Structure 1
Amino acid sequence: MDERLTQALARIRPDVRATKAYPVQSSTGLIKLDTMENPFRLPAELQAELGRRLGQVAINRYPAERTRELAAALATHAGMPEGCAITLGNGSDEIITMLSMAVSQPGAVILSPLPSFVMYEISARYQGLRFVGVPLTADFELDEAAMLAAMAEHQPALIYLASPNNPTANLWDEAVIERIVAAAPGLVVMDEAYQPFAERNAMGLLQRHPHVLVMRTMSKFGLAGVRIGYLIGRAALVAEIDKLRPPFNVGVLNAEAGLFALEHAQVYEAQARVLREQREWLQVELKKLTGVQAYPSQGNMILARVADAAACFERMKARGVLVKNVSAMHPMLANCLRLTVGTPEENQAMLAALKESLQ
């Protein structure tokens, strides 16, 4: 290797060099059911209307008023309580980075149940923070005693509770969440990325507890390619976190697309309804399969345990269906596949590929 390049690489943090980049699978030519996207596109007439809207945007200017209008529209859409405020991120990932930066003080700890969304730990470590993971129970419920003990010992500055959780897809016991929140010594972030598919939300929790923040995204709403996340909480808290938001972090085209989507929210709500119905159909069909344990889901994905996840994944891929093998994410996920709920046609194909791959 060139000596100057070696010297340059030596300036990169050792922990960064030792890690691997977040993996994104190639889906070319495959039915893509690995990343919990909304599989539906807009109807042709709305695509044309959106195209006209985007064509009129002043892309020569930095984002300003329209981004503020998007924030206000999202606050209304989410039912933001009185006394609260909202800030936007380039997807939830950027908000997670902002939160890590906000609590980044010597000795600070970020805590989350495990398995859960991997970016909580990754972001904490990149900010030089200690991450504490508390294993879920065998059926992927919160271990209340272990959570309370870890909170008492480590005094976390920030706790993440994904509702529904990713990758397990379940909603945790509401009473247990309430007690954990009440005992939390710092901030509690309720990550509601999959809220369009769940039977409850955390806005009531936010109203009762001033240290709670609710994080959501438009990705599962149907705009994964637009990259808009948002955070709602008491105005004083959000004001501090907003200081860490990069200026102009949501582009004008993204903001316009987000506003357009909210103006046509009924279209996306209808799509979510179909996905919820398909999720329940898949649950019934998966229970009929020998050698498959499908776990309860309140998201747009289903966690399923099989005898050999690696082999099953490869066989399904060979049959043109891409799912996610999550076995390596945590020991509790051994031989687990995460199946995204797709269109009725995609789900039929996925189920057929899974049946053939189990043999």
Structure 2
Amino acid sequence: MLSRQRFETDRRQRTEPVPGQGNRIARWVPSRILELSPYHADSADGLLKLDAMENPYTWPSEIKDQWLQIISTVPLNRYPDPQGTALRQDLKTWCGLDLAADLMLGNGSDELIQIIAMTLGGRGQVIMAPEPSFSMYSMIASVTGTRFLGVPRDTEFRIDLQACLDGIAEHQPCCVFLARPNNPTGSLCSNETVHAIIDAAPGLVVVDEAYHAFCGHTFLDRITDHDNLVVMRTFSKLGLAALRLGFLAGPKNWLDQFNKVRLPYNVNTLTQVSVRFALEHMEWFQGCAEQICNHREQLSIALLGLPDVQVYPSDGNFLLMRMPRGRGTEIFQCLRQSGILVKNLDGSHEALADCLRVSVSSTDDNQAFVAALRNSLETVDLRESS
């Protein structure tokens, strides 16, 4: 039994501040968290929103009315199906998934990335991805105490396969993320590149197909060919961003491990019911995707006609542009002042200096953006010459 003196000494050690450690936050929040910045999304109030790769079209009224009738029957006093059984089965049918594979649902792709990192990562482990790419790979790796290895792409944002293979051989990553098409560059790596990385990787390879609808290429039909491959999808870019649904498809033995980490009831009933309904009307969503692809080509041609603007090829629903040297952020601010919000990537990665990313939208929105960008370029030129 502890003496009263020993008890009081232990109590003081637990409650009194430690010299030099500052306040409680500095003492208890790990340095890897203190060093991070929260994810920042610009406010789009009163602006034409072209920064988040959203579907610019809303459901026709007849489809929306049917949906409202269906969700009105959802018992809000009951917890969701923790496995999303019916939705998973519908998704497996829609994807044509092999019987040997399975699906796991997530609250958007972000949660799935977090689950993977929590399961495989931690101190002494490495998560790898070609860079620049989706910022959540490195951010979530940092949060889980996992070292992130970014392998630079070439000057045209193509994957440097040899550099990736060298990184795999040297660092033995527990997981490799491959965004296909890549965000924010829009580039699509070849099947051969993906296969080479899968074959070389000692751990898991995650092919992130968030923008699959705009390129048509998939590795879903290759899942059973490899024992270390999973494919990740989201419905956000297709037109259901408000519902936050992603899914991970892969061998059941991998998903069994991830399900140990996944929180119960992570996908709410309204989302499950709504996505099942959306799958019955997928031809409308696919029609939107086809229209966006057509608009992407038209917008690219229009942007290429502007002076000193470099436009990169894209297989997503967005375009990456490089502004005149040293003017990226200034042009972003000019666009915002003219009522248009795009994504400012200047300063986010050394390879993205002066780069802006714009979502492909409707014809009217795209034309408004081109006109505003032309005016912004002229404004910046005038400032520079005055």
Range of TM-score over shorter length: over 0.9
Q: Which of 339, 350, 359 pairs up with 2:369?
A: 350
- 1:21-170 → structure 2 map (5 Å cutoff): 21-64=38-81, 67-170=84-187
Say yes or no: does 1:274 pair with 2:286.
Answer: no
**Secondary structure of 2:320 counterpart:** strand
1:326 is aligned with what amino acid? L
Deviation digits for residues 286-326 of structure 1 (CA, Å, limit 9, x no counterpart): 12111111101000000011111111111111111100111
CA contact (8 A) 1:193 1:215 kept: yes
User: For the structure 1 residues 145 and 70, does the alpha-carbon distance in structure 2 shift closer, same or farther, using more than 3 Å as the test?
Assistant: same
2:331 is aligned with what amino acid? C
Deviation digits for residues 252-286 of structure 1 (CA, Å, limit 9, x no counterpart): 11111111111111111111111111001111111
Aligned to 2:330: 311
**Secondary structure of 1:133 counterpart:** strand
Offset at 1:205?
3.3
**Secondary structure of 1:39 counterpart:** coil
**Secondary structure of 2:129 counterpart:** strand
Aligned-pair identity (%): 39
Offset at 1:53?
1.2
2:334 is aligned with what amino acid? R
Say yes or no: does 1:198 pair with 2:224.
Answer: no
What is the CA–CA distance in structure 1 between the aligned matches of 2:281 and 2:164, rounded to whole Å?
A: 41
CA contact (8 A) 2:319 2:357 kept: yes
- Pick the structure with greater CA Rg: 2
Unaligned runs of 5+ in 1: none
Aligned to 1:330: 349
Offset at 1:199?
3.1
Offset at 1:339?
0.8
What is the CA–CA distance in structure 1 between the aligned matches of 2:330 and 2:195, rounded to whole Å?
A: 40
TM-score (norm 1): 0.96
What is the CA–CA distance in structure 2 between the aligned matches of 1:204 and 1:251, rounded to whole Å?
A: 28
2:161 is aligned with what amino acid? E
Deviation digits for residues 180-234 of structure 1 (CA, Å, limit 9, x no counterpart): 1111111000000000101311123323212100000010121111000100001
Unaligned runs of 5+ in 2: 1-15, 379-386
Say yes or no: does 1:224 pair with 2:224.
Answer: no
- 1:229-240 → structure 2 map (5 Å cutoff): 229-240=246-257
TM-score (norm 2): 0.89
What is the CA–CA distance in structure 2 between the aligned matches of 1:64 and 1:337, rounded to whole Å?
A: 41
Runs of 4+ in 1 over 3 A off after TM superposition: 3-6
Moved more, 176-185 or 188-197: 176-185
Deviation digits for residues 52-81 of structure 1 (CA, Å, limit 9, x no counterpart): 111110110001189211111122222212
What is the CA–CA distance in structure 2 between the aligned matches of 1:19 and 1:225, rounded to whole Å?
A: 26
Moved more, 156-165 or 260-269: 260-269
Aligned to 1:296: 313
Moved more, 148-157 or 103-112: 103-112
Offset at 1:145?
1.1
What is the CA–CA distance in structure 2 between the aligned matches of 1:205 and 1:133, rounded to whole Å?
A: 25
What is the CA–CA distance in structure 1 between the aligned matches of 2:222 and 2:97, rounded to whole Å?
A: 12
What is the CA–CA distance in structure 2 between the aligned matches of 1:20 and 1:295, rounded to whole Å?
A: 28
